[in-house]
Chain A
């Protein structure tokens, strides 16, 4: 039986789509059969991040209106054989898919996949309600910024209202030097306000931008700290116990101390 996970945030630009793409690739690398559903109708991006835009033939709107079976709209990833994308329409808007339709599509797909990840649009309107309708659990993405945390809090409230009580948190784009100097919220503040289980702390990493432009999720880049953080998140989703990365910049002295175990 597959797990349907919605990735949401409330605020835009915190990295929902990036997170979806990276977790999707990570789960696929571990041998799971994964489907990614983009529900950001009209503003789709997930295909770009995966570098699959040129392979799209049909979209989610075609599927929910019954024009084609869902299998015809799925796009297989070029590198990861068991990763599939169900893109949405760029021409229509959010009103063309409703929650029940997405639930029906997910129910058809459940037997076929180990994980189904739903990329949610920003906001709390129709698009959000559609995206969360089918989810077994939710991952809320936020940033160490008061506006992002405030919106994440609202989203958790909305998820609770929709009886989605299984919610996990990813804090994205952490700039450790700003957190240390007190210019950014630290993890304690965030955990204290949101009070949900945190499964990931991802540092702000320039390689995320370059990999986005290249259509190659950063998780496959072993050198990237963000990639490692995403890899750990995937491990935690699969039920492993992994400690959080310490991505503070270390001085030469600190490194020496570590080597000498003092």
Chain B
């Protein structure tokens, strides 16, 4: 037991995986047990995707009802519906990319040094012709480009864009945040000599990577 009913957390949300190794009533009981034991663990209204292709329509409906009594929403990811949803998602994707493009195309250019205690927030990209000093924060929906020394906290892709990058002539920030990832500076005092050439930070393979660039 335990293999048949598994809740999985993934990037797209929670998933309920049911294997075809037990009959439906036992599985139903197992789910009920699990939900009872983790009562209050799931927030009301949480959407859970169902991954169980072997179940038929009535069984799925039964499961949906079961989850409803716990205040949870079960979503089917069956193949027939998948196709429909894909089409819908594609439409949405086009809309959202258009929206995203408009957002990232917006470029804020700041011709001054951002000092300790100052903050720049933009939903597009940010270019700073000056330094970003320690104690300053830059938050951008898109990319961040510092034409000077970057010593503050920079957050690119603040709305979840994992393709966002941070560039600087001297990239020695307290923290680099891209989308939902954070990298922090080493504990030693960093000077310009530690970053003598322009660099770019981006997400690659689940971590933030720094790379030298030409410009």
Interface residues of A (CB under 8 A from B): 146, 150-151, 153-154, 156-158, 160, 189, 192-193, 195
Contact = CB atoms under 8 A, between A and B. Distances in A.
B156 to A, nearest CB: 22
Interface in B131-148: 131, 133-135
A157 B192 contact: no
Contacts of A153: 115-116, 133-135
Nearest to A161: B118
Nearest to B148: A195
A154 B135 contact: yes
Interface in B167-203: 189, 191-192
Interface string B99-123: 0000000000000110111100000
B114 to A, nearest CB: 8
Kindly name the residue among A158, A189, A195 whose own CB sees the greatest number of chain B CB atoms within 10 A: A195
**Lowest 5 A-B CB distances belong to which pairs?**
A157-B115, A153-B116, A154-B116, A154-B117, A153-B115
26 contacts: A146-B189, A150-B135, A153-B115, A153-B116, A153-B133, A154-B115, A154-B116, A154-B117, A154-B135, A156-B115, A157-B116, A157-B117, A157-B118, A158-B117, A160-B112, A160-B115, A189-B191, A192-B131, A192-B149, A192-B192, A193-B133, A193-B149, A193-B151, A195-B113, A195-B130, A195-B131
Nearest to B130: A195
Nearest to B118: A157
Interface residues of B, number: 16
Contacts of A192: 131, 149, 192
Contacts of A195: 113, 130-131
A151 B116 CA distance: 8
B131 A150 contact: no
Interface of B: 112-113, 115-118, 130-131, 133-135, 149, 151, 189, 191-192
A94 B134 CA distance: 30
Nearest to A159: B115
A150 B191 contact: no
Contacts of B189: 146
Given A153-B135, A160-B115, A193-B134, 13 more contacts: A146-B189, A150-B116, A150-B134, A151-B116, A153-B115, A154-B117, A154-B135, A158-B117, A189-B192, A192-B192, A193-B133, A195-B113, A195-B130
Contacts of B115: 153-154, 156-157, 160
Contacts of B133: 153, 193
B175 to A, nearest CB: 16
Contacts of A193: 131, 133-134, 149, 151
A221 B156 CA distance: 55
Contacts of A157: 115-118
A157 B135 CA distance: 11
Contacts of B117: 154, 157-158
B188 to A, nearest CB: 11
A192 B61 CA distance: 66
A193 B116 CA distance: 10
A192 B189 CA distance: 15
B116 to A, nearest CB: 4
Contacts of B149: 192-193
Contacts of B191: 189
B199 to A, nearest CB: 17
B49 to A, nearest CB: 48
A203 B115 CA distance: 26
Contacts of B192: 189, 192
A95 to B, nearest CB: 23
A193 B151 CA distance: 9
Nearest to B112: A160
Contacts of B112: 160
A146 B117 CA distance: 15
Contacts of B130: 195
B60 to A, nearest CB: 59
